Amino acid sequence: MKNSDYIEYKKLIDEHLLDFLPKIDDNSIAIYDAMKYSLSAGGKRIRSVLLLAACDFCGGDIKSALPYACAIEYIHTYSLIHDDLPAMDDDDLRRGVPTNHKVFGEATAILAGDGLLSSAFEVMSKDLLLYFDDADKLKSRVRAMYEITKGCGCRGMIAGQIADIEAAGKQCSKKLLDYIHVNKTASLVMAAVKAGAHIGGADKDVLINLTDYAENIGLAFQVADDILDICGDEALLGKKVGADIGKDKPTYPSLYGLEKSKKKLDELTSNAIDILSPYYDNAEFFTDMAKELATRSK
């Protein structure tokens, strides 16, 4: 992405992403290697960047939000490792390199995902210990951790994933498709934005507007993914195209067709931009982010 703020946020995350991993004993160093492999494989860092941006937008110190940004990146990476497993999507490539289980084996890949998930909560709970003498900051971080916990759990990402698995090969209603994508993809995007907003000290109205924005770009991100799975460039995507069709998974193009899906993407992007338009230039980062996510090629 070209957004200069995005580049700075991403640089900060990439520089510190491994810093928050717990110290690993030499006897179990293999798990660290597997976790590090997937964390270091690149990626857009959308969720963690949005967390820092929301904190910044609300007047907070982004460095104080960094543990939560890295935690949500650990959670996202764990979900990708597990998604790629033979029992799930059975993918050989992720971000242009062999998937975790192709390099380390299925058992280690499962444990690497588990390790990243548990590390995320260790990072956040350890940060809470720093604020026992400041009730307001402690409360804001408890709220942030709660949003991330809910967003990745069985009322969020996991709910969407199981509904997606159950719907494969079956007739899927438009209502169910929205449920799948709101939970599977948008929930963690919303969690990131809400967590950053809490740490930044957002008031009620700002929190509502940022949440609505995040839901729209989260859905737009998934619609764009569905479109790219049909007409994307494998070399740019770093993974095979046509995977969803091959597995008979419910997608926006499969229910609405390609052209209507593109219109849906434009609609969601416009909605996101309109929601934050009252904030004028202060929302420029979020406006640019919505546009760039909608027109991305990978």
Whole-prediction pTM: 0.94
43 Cα distance to chain centroid:
10
- Is it the case that residue 196 has pLDDT exceeding 90? yes
Rounded CA separation 20/124 (Å): 10
pLDDT of 150 > 80? The answer is yes
Q: What is the pLDDT confidence band of residue 96, given thresholds at 50, 70 and 90?
A: confident
Residue carrying the six token digits 């997608």? 251
Inform me whether the pLDDT recorded for 149 exceeds 90: yes
Asked whether the predicted pLDDT for residue 234 surpasses 70, the reply is: no
Is the CB of residue 198 less than 8 Å from the CB of residue 143?
yes
Residue 246's pLDDT is 61
Pairing type for strands 93-94 and 97-98 reads antiparallel
Quote the mean pLDDT of the chain.
93
pLDDT grade for 168, boundaries at 50, 70 and 90: confident
DSSP reduced 3-state for 94:
strand
Q: Is the pLDDT of residue 233 over 70?
A: no
Per-residue pLDDT band at 80 (split at 50, 70, 90): very high
Name the pLDDT band for 2 (thresholds 50, 70, 90). low
Which band of pLDDT confidence, cut at 50, 70 and 90, is reported for residue 8? very high
Query: What pLDDT, on a 0 to 100 scale, did the predictor assign at position 48?
Result: 98
Q: Do 140 and 201 touch, CB atoms closer than 8 A? A: yes
pLDDT in the model for residue 296: 85
Residue 16's pLDDT band, with cuts at 50, 70 and 90, is very high
Report the topology of domain 4-294: Farnesyl Diphosphate Synthase (1.10.600)
- Mean pLDDT computed over 59-86: 97
pLDDT of 3 strictly over 90: no
Q: Which of 19-23, 28-32, 48-52, 279-283 has the lowest mean pLDDT?
A: 279-283
Instruction: Give, in order, the Cα–Cα distances in Å from 147 to each of 29, 194, 219, 237, 286.
Output: 31, 7, 18, 30, 20
Mean pLDDT in residue range 117-145:
98
Q: Let me know: does 200 contact 56? Beta carbons within 8 Å.
A: yes
User: What pLDDT does residue 13 have?
Assistant: 97
